[in-house]
A and B are shown apart, each in its own frame.
Chain A
């Protein structure tokens, strides 16, 4: 069992104002320590270092460590610390894992989880990598089993190719989701324990999934078709030939995912309030189109749907691929793509080398390698393989920067009962702002509650009165993926996008007040709450983008396809330039930001890229 250091225990007690009256707080330090273990070493070290620094501050002020202090003294230490505005972002960073753990423990103690019945998953041909032969061959190897990889695998397998899908994560069944606590699933399903960070000002948290099904296992299930103006840009400006007939591809993907508009019955109060606010303002808003027929409003999309309603690709597309003969190898991290360099006509892909969890390697020879490792991991993989020579590889990263806002209502909202992402407000979409009513299981929202100590504890106890909205903006491609062995992300928010984020925050504030909120929590540590629209406007005048707590969710464009060989690492057909037999079939192939939740766009692009390859090969 993971043990928690004393500094962490003391910090948890201080931040949550643990006075011993509640039982659940006692288990939080251990859960925080387990969460930190799943995080990458730098993040772990940073949180532990911050905890040690706060402990040292306590020793300097009181002569004793936080854990040895009484409740009042701890509160006093933290209040004096929080009074220093420059330290607020640091406190916020420490609060995030604490809130995640606290939310989970509180939920476990307060409300016993209702037993959920889930239908059996469609069968998948999954083989753990230790049981896969060290040497094997295939007609096509697909790296990654997420949205793009699954669609490419299905298309290629249906064309009669022997397809092997390599997935770094494990296969998780719907039944296993229903059995385990959300936070346990969280650390398993997300890469780096969900703490993937892009460096920049402000830094972004960019969580991505790692499992059979990729991020589709942990996304909210929102399915937007690629907007027409984006498609026109891809075709006419970038020359992305695989986007021809995109409407047909989108139709097919929607059929595969059983996309439909979310009915109102299980929408939940969070979504209904957003609808009410939009109606009050006269803004265009509607329940979102989602790939979750029969959704029961469990509000656990982000940690794997426990009822099997959300048709993430391991329930919808991959079973079709496996039925057509595709095989999935789990726990296999692709180290590099093999290339034969003396082939007539230039280098040609020859297969992949993948690492098993024990460090041993397996090799699969294949004349076709489909790279669908995600926009963050495709560039490092290509660099490791000696295929990263294009100067634009890893650049052109769009991430949909997002912020969230919460409104406190007089009556209980209980956001975690209902659909997680329920309503889309598209009034400002032409300005690049898309507002989506997004609740989350306690602690798992990207919204950070204000305050520390008693103030934070009070907020925690009253979270059932909060409605949360999220807004993402269509951003300029201002990010970059560096690194070979693991991605190192750099994202510098463009000035236009900073303005859009602030505009989104004001719009969400207006929407919440229009829906009847008594108070709006801004998520900005230095200006945490406003009680009137005017107060909010005045407050936000003092806030700049670097004060915001920004998340990002949809990385795209790092190996973009296009006609210009100087600007596009991939050609218009989605083939990597400079080598034969490497297709890019994930978010990285998209030429520019899709401006909506990108699952359908990525899957349709993968379908286009793989389908055109099959047509050319015939």
Chain B
């Protein structure tokens, strides 16, 4: 905002410029009151230039008819407070929403007064495009474990965990699933545990089915539970008790809205990009002791399994994670499309590409990412902005477990899963030509699966 100020002792007004960023913990609802934190820069010509101004914004255009700014900043070593508000009037909507009269205080005493104006011509577009939905806070990470199923028939919901024991090179897969059959039969819970020893064939055991009663936190059925920070249970010769420590922000493999509003056939997300697991897993031939084993948990909620799909979770090290789901839907019409690729590269704290829809549908199909699904090797590649990525996954036949899946409508699918897969990830950046930006090679630590019918 631009404007003027008359400081106490000054004989004339001075130009003022205010550049602010507002962050709120909740979504801005126009009919309610939202409080946001302000950070930014205030410049008073010849007197102050404080890039560390901080304060509070109260946004209430309808309930209070007021948008109030309170900001503390430095002026020549003095600590000043700006307090002003726009008074929203329906008779003068533009003026009242863009003019901010304010008063400056120092220790409660008035030391200045002025008016700021929002420059509509140059500021409106950046302002509107600058809106973002607030990120979920870390403390609320556990909420992603809460059951989503609302009683609708024909739904399936999954909590699964995959990890790699760095000490033995073994992989572990824990799958917890609730199936609500399409015919209205009672929902049932079941799952399995699969161990992928470094040298030898995978072994697994199923638990359930058991009647499903939804609890407030995660999956609990048939002596087995997957709740916040804890995984316990038993199946056949297996018994396990693990603790889980999240080490990253939530990651939505599918568009974030599809998790809140289940309008897609299914949605997949990770409550945390990475997690560390400790505890013991007892199996038929011995016991696996885990200490800070890397892995991740994930969630699926939808109508059932895809017609054909591939999945990859690759812990690239240094906090970076690659998550891929490429799938062909069962829905009529959509089943004729090539696999839709949802690729999320969480790298250096940012996720690329910014929107999941970009990799799946591109610009109306143009520029979408492509997947070549097969076994033992499958491949995904694509380009967004000035970067392109090529991912090659190899699932060793001896380290791949084949399991039968059953959809809510009773149809069957076959899944071939390996928690000891290899993966090569090549990231390039355009700068006159394609130049390598980063390459990761995972040997036996990638988690992948391919499914079909």
List A residues at the B interface (Cβ < 8 Å): 133-137, 338, 340-342, 350, 353, 361, 363, 365
Given contacts A342-B33, A363-B87, contact A133 B103 (CB under 8 A): yes
Inter-chain contacts of A137 with B (CB < 8 A): 83
Residue in A133, A135, A361 whose CB lies within 8 Å of B85: A135
Contacts of A365 in B (CB 8 A): 85
B101 nearest CB neighbor, chain A only = A134
Contact B101 A340 (CB under 8 A): no
Known contacts: A135-B84, A135-B85, A137-B83. The answer to whether A342 contacts B60 by CB under 8 A is yes
Chain A nearest CB, measured from B237 CB (Å): 57
Q: Are A135 and B103 in contact (CB under 8 A)?
A: yes
A interface: dominant SS: strand
In the complex, the answer to whether B102 meets A340 with C-beta atoms within 8 Å is no
CB contacts (< 8 Å) of A135 on chain B: these are: 83-85, 101-103
C-alpha spacing A363/B102, complex, angstroms: 10
- 26 CB < 8 A contacts A-B: A133-B103, A133-B110, A133-B113, A134-B101, A134-B113, A135-B83, A135-B84, A135-B101, A135-B102, A136-B103, A136-B110, A137-B83, A338-B64, A338-B65, A340-B33, A340-B60, A340-B63, A340-B64, A342-B31, A342-B60, A342-B63, A350-B64, A350-B66, A361-B87, A363-B85, A365-B85
Interface residues as binary, B59-71 with A (CB distance below 8 Å gives 1, 0 otherwise) = 0100111100000
Is there contact, CB below 8 Å, between B64 and A341? Answer: yes
Interface of B is mostly: strand
Q: Tell me whether B63 and A341 are in contact (CB under 8 A).
A: yes
Closest to B86 in A: A135
Given A133-B110, A363-B85, A363-B87: A342 and B101 interface contact (C-beta under 8 Å): no
Taking the complex as formed, is B32 at the interface, i.e. its CB lies under 8 A from any CB of chain A?
A: yes
Closest residue of chain A to B100 (Cβ to Cβ) is: A135
Tell me which residues across on chain B come within 8 A of A342, comparing CB atoms: 31-33, 60, 63-64
Q: How far apart sit A338 and B60, CA to CA, in the bound complex (Å)?
A: 13
Q: How many A-B residue pairs have CB under 8 A?
A: 38
State A393–B156 Cα separation when bound (angstroms).
61
Give Cα distance in the complex from A341 to B110, angstroms: 29
Interface residues on chain B, size class: 10 to 19
Q: A135-B84, A136-B110, A340-B60 are in contact. List 13 more A-B contacts (CB 8 A).
A: A133-B110, A134-B103, A135-B85, A135-B101, A135-B103, A136-B103, A338-B64, A338-B66, A341-B63, A341-B64, A342-B31, A342-B33, A342-B64
| Residue of A134, A342, A361, A363 with highest tally of chain B CB at under 10 A | A134
Q: Which of B36-94 contact A (CB under 8 A)?
A: 60, 63-66, 83-85, 87
Nearest-Cβ distance from residue A586 to partner chain B, whole angstroms: 26
Please, how many angstroms separate the alpha-carbon atoms of A340 and B110 in the complex?
25
A332 → chain B closest CB, angstroms = 15
The residue of chain A having its C-beta at the shortest distance from the C-beta of B82 within the complex is A135
Q: Give the residues in chain A near B31, CB-CB below 8 Å.
A: 342
In the complex, what distance in Å separates the CA atom of A363 from the CA atom of B66?
11
Residues of B within 8 A of A134 (CB): 101, 103, 113, 115
The residue in chain A whose Cβ has the minimal distance to the Cβ of B33 is A342
A161 to B33, CA, bound (A): 26
Across the interface, A353 reaches (CB within 8 A) one of B63, B87, B102, namely: B87
Q: How far is the CB of A328 from chain B (nearest CB, A)?
A: 16
B145 nearest CB across to chain A (Å): 31
Q: Which residues of A contact B63 (CB under 8 A)?
A: 340-342
What is the minimal beta-carbon distance from B265 to any residue of chain A, in angstroms? 39
Docked CA distance A134–B96 (Å): 14
Bound CA–CA A119/B317 (angstroms) = 87
Q: Which chain B residue shows the least CB distance to A341?
A: B63
A residues near B65, Cβ cutoff 8 Å: 338
The 3 closest A-B pairs by CB, nearest first: A342-B63, A134-B101, A133-B103
**How distant is B86 from chain A, measured CB to nearest CB, in Å?**
10
State how many angstroms separate the Cβ of B229 from the closest Cβ of chain A.
34
CA–CA, A338 and B65, complex, Å: 9
Q: Which residues of B sit under 8 angstroms from A341, Cβ to Cβ?
A: 63-64
Q: Give the distance in Å from the alpha carbon of A363 to the alpha carbon of B85 in the complex.
A: 9
A2 to chain B, nearest CB (A): 35
Residue of A nearest to B104 (CB): A133
Chain A hits for B102, CB < 8 A: 135
User: Interface code B349-379, partner A: CB below 8 Å = 1, 0 otherwise?
Assistant: 0000000000000000000000000000000
* Nearest chain A residue, comparing its CB with the CB of B102: A135
In whole Å, how far is A450's beta carbon from the nearest beta carbon of chain B? 52
Question: For B85, what are the chain A residues with a Cβ–Cβ distance below 8 Å?
Answer: 135, 363, 365
- Residues in A with CB closer than 8 Å to B101 are 134-135
Output the residue of A133, A137, A353, A363 with the most chain B CB within 10 A: A133
Which single residue of chain B is at the shortest CB-CB distance from A351? B66
**For window 1-51 of chain B, which residues contact chain A by CB distance below 8 Å?**
31-33
Chain A residue numbers with a CB within 8 Å of B66 are 338, 350
Central interface residue in A133, A135, A137, A341, by most chain B CB within 10 Å: A135
Bound-state Cα–Cα, A341 to B33, Å: 10
Please give me the residue from chain A that is nearest to B110 by CB atom: A133
Note all chain B residues with C-beta closer than 8 A to A350: 64, 66
How far apart sit A361 and B89, CA to CA, in the bound complex (Å)?
13
- In the complex, residue of chain A having the shortest beta-carbon distance to the beta carbon of B113: A133
Cα-based distance from A365 to B58 in the complex (angstroms): 13
Residues in A neighbouring B83, C-beta threshold 8 A: 135, 137
- The CA of A224 and the CA of B451, in the complex, are separated in Å by 97
**Chain A residues positioned under 8 Å from B32 (CB to CB):** 342
